[in-house]
C-alpha cells in the first residue's frame, strides 16, 4: 500500500511518514514544490536510517503523490486544504482520503473552533471530493511531540466516516503505530465534535503551562 502525505512537510507529516515507513509501507511526501518534497524525503529517510529502518520515503509534487497513492492524508494547513482538494479531486477518485484538518481562529490569547458551513472540515472536504472515500482522523495528535521519535505516548485517535470499509482501512493503519489506539467514533458528521477538541487542547495547554496535550479515553 502506498500512503501519500499531501503537504507532508510539517510535524504531523513527518511523524506519520517515518512511522508508516518503519512499519513497511511505501510513503510519498507531497508538496506544492517538488524540491521541497525532495528535501523532506531526504530528511525523513535520514531519520529512518538512524532508527534502523530502510529508506521508504520519496518526495513528489502533490499532484503526482495523489496519483500514485492508495491512501492520501491531507496534512495541509486547513486554510489551503480546500483549494488543494479542488485541484486534486480528479486524481483522488475512488481513493481513501484522510482529513486531520481542524479549522480554528485565534481570539486574543485563546483559540476557537471555526467550522465551515458544511459543519466540519471533513464534511467540506467530502463535499469537494464527492467521488473519494473520506475518513477523518489524527485531529488531536500533538504534532510537535509526534515528530520526536524518542517520545513514548499512549494516545487515542477518533476515526469518523460514512464509508465503513474505508474507515476499517484507516483504523487498521493507525493501530499499527506504536502508542496510538484507533476508536471508531461513527459517521463523518461526528468530525464536528472531534475537530473541536483540538482548540480546547491548545487552550488548556496555554492556561496550564502544559505542552503537547493529546487525548486518551479511559
Domains of the chain: total: 1
Write the CATH number for 79.
3.40.50.720
Domain containing residue 8: 2-208
pLDDT for 55-70, tens place per residue?
Answer: 789 999 999 999 999 9
Q: Is residue 217 part of a domain?
A: no
pLDDT at 211 over 90: no
> How confident is the prediction for the chain on average, in pLDDT?
97
Q: Is residue 152 part of a domain?
A: yes
pLDDT at 190 over 90: yes
pLDDT for 108-124, tens place per residue?
Answer: 999 999 999 999 999 99
CA-to-CA dists, residue 163 to 51, 88, 91, 99, angstroms: 35, 20, 19, 14
For the purposes of burial, counting CB atoms within 10 Å of the CB of 176, is it exposed (0-12), middle (13-18) or buried (19 or more)? middle
Amino acid at each position: 500500500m502506498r500512503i501519500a502525505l499531501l503537504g507532508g512537510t510539517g510535524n504531523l507529516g513527518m511523524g506519520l511518514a517515518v512511522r508508516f515507513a518503519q512499519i513497511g509501507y511505501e510513503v510519498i511526501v507531497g508538496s506544492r514544490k517538488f524540491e521541497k518534497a525532495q528535501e523532506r524525503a531526504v530528511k525523513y529517510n535520514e531519520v529512518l536510517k538512524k532508527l534502523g529502518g530502510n529508506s521508504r520515503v520519496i518526495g513528489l509534487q502533490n499532484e503526482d503523490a495523489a496519483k500514485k497513492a492508495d491512501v492520501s492524508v491531507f496534512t495541509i494547513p486547513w486554510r489551503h486544504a480546500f483549494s488543494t482538494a479542488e485541484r486534486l479531486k480528479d486524481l483522488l477518485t475512488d481513493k481513501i482520503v484522510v482529513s486531520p484538518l481542524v479549522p480554528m481562529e485565534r481570539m486574543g490569547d485563546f483559540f476557537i473552533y471555526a467550522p465551515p458551513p458544511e459543519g466540519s472540515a471533513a464534511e467540506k472536504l467530502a463535499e469537494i471530493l464527492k467521488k473519494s472515500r473520506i475518513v477523518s482522523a489524527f485531529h488531536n495528535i500533538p504534532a510537535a511531540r509526534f515528530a520526536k521519535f524518542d517520545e513514548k505516548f499512549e494516545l487515542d485517535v477518533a476515526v469518523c466516516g460514512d464509508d465503513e470499509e474505508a474507515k476499517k482501512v484507516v483504523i487498521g493503519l493507525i493501530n499499527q503505530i506504536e502508542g496510538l489506539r484507533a476508536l471508531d467514533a461513527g459517521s463523518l458528521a461526528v468530525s464536528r465534535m472531534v475537530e473541536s477538541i483540538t482548540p480546547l487542547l491548545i487552550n488548556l495547554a496555554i492556561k496550564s503551562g502544559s505542552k503537547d496535550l493529546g487525548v486518551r479515553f479511559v
